[in-house]
């Protein structure tokens, strides 16, 4: 029997969209594990903070092994970082770091969690994308990793659909988070959406929560934009 409440794993749960999503799911009756290197910002009986540096592949492998007995019903990959710069100024290390956090971490966690999801004939994966994935000046490396994340999601969705597991990407426009003020993106300032304000993290969290629900069973392999009219 399909049950849209259970245990969710959220990366990047200590700030921004990850934090907003954790709060939303807890309010809806989910149990949540938050995987983050920063201190937890939530105190709740159904929330468990797990300290982890996701950039450390060995540490993540060990954590996945230690939690292999847990039956996660949902995985939300909200951890992220952005480096910007012109083609002439791009740094290989910046691109590698973003690839690791956005794509490799998602892959590593999804590989570990999906076998139990398939066995249960139910699972949800939602990853945070970006409208920048279509390409934008001064953000080529970030655009590349987000485009790869979307391609991965569509490929995984095709594989997992027969097993009751959905995989989607939510791609917000500029969102009111600490990333807006990140010094590393000063060369490429965020653009205000046509609605006249930035997207609120709670709005993104609401869409993510819907994708975890039983009403979203038929939605998979999609890149859903919440952009305040920016894509018009």
Give a yes or no: residue 110 inside a domain.
yes
Reference 165, options 126, 204, 130, 129; nearest CA is 126
Q: Please give the residue range of the domain that contains residue 139.
A: 7-226
Q: Please give the average per-residue pLDDT across 197-225, as a whole number.
A: 97
CATH number where 206 lies: 3.40.50.720
Tell me whether residue 232 is in a domain.
Answer: no
Is 1 inside any structural domain?
no
pLDDT tens sequence across 20-60: 999 999 999 999 999 999 999 999 999 999 999 999 999 99
Specify the pLDDT at position 106: 98
Any domain includes 195: yes
Residue 145: pLDDT band (50, 70, 90) is: very high
Q: Environment class of residue 178 by beta-carbon count within 10 Å: exposed (0-12), middle (13-18) or buried (19+)?
A: exposed
Spatial distance between the Cα atoms of 173 and 151, rounded to a whole number of angstroms:
19
Does residue 156 fall inside a structural domain?
yes
Please check whether residue 2 lies inside any domain of the structure.
no
* Total number of domains constituting the chain: 1
- The whole-number pLDDT of residue 187 equals 58
Q: Are 184 and 83 in contact (CB under 8 A)?
A: yes
Q: Report CA 209 to chain centroid distance, whole Å.
A: 12
Record the pTM. 0.93
Q: What is the pLDDT of residues 77-124, one digit of tens each?
A: 999 999 999 999 999 999 999 999 999 999 999 999 999 999 999 999
In a domain, 67, yes or no: yes
**Six token digits for residue 80:** 């992220």
The per-residue pLDDT for 167 is 98
Residue 96 domain-assigned? yes
């Amino acid at each position: 029997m399909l049950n849209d409440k259970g245990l969710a794993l959220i990366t990047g749960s200590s700030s921004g969209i990850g934090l907003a999503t954790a709060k939303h799911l807890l309010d809806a009756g989910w149990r949540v594990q938050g995987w983050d290197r920063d201190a937890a910002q939530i105190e709740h009986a159904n929330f468990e903070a797990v300290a982890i540096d996701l950039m450390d592949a060995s540490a993540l492998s060990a954590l996945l092994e230690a939690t292999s007995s847990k039956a996660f019903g949902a995985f939300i990959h909200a951890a992220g970082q952005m480096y910007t710069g012109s083609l002439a100024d791009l740094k290989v290390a910046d691109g590698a770091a973003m690839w690791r956090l956005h794509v490799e971490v998602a892959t590593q966690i999804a590989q570990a969690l999906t076998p139990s999801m398939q066995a249960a004939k139910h699972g949800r994966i939602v990853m945070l994308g970006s409208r920048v994935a279509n390409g934008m000046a001064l953000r080529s490396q970030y655009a590349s990793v987000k485009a790869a994340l979307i391609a991965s999601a569509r490929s995984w969705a095709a594989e997992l659909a027969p097993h009751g597991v959905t995989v989607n990407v939510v791609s917000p426009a500029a969102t009111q988070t600490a990333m807006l003020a990140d010094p590393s993106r000063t060369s490429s300032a965020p653009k205000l959406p046509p609605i006249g304000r930035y997207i609120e993290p709670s709005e993104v969290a609401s869409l993510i929560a819907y994708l975890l629900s039983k009403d979203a069973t038929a939605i998979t392999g999609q890149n859903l934009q919440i952009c305040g009219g920016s894509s018009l």
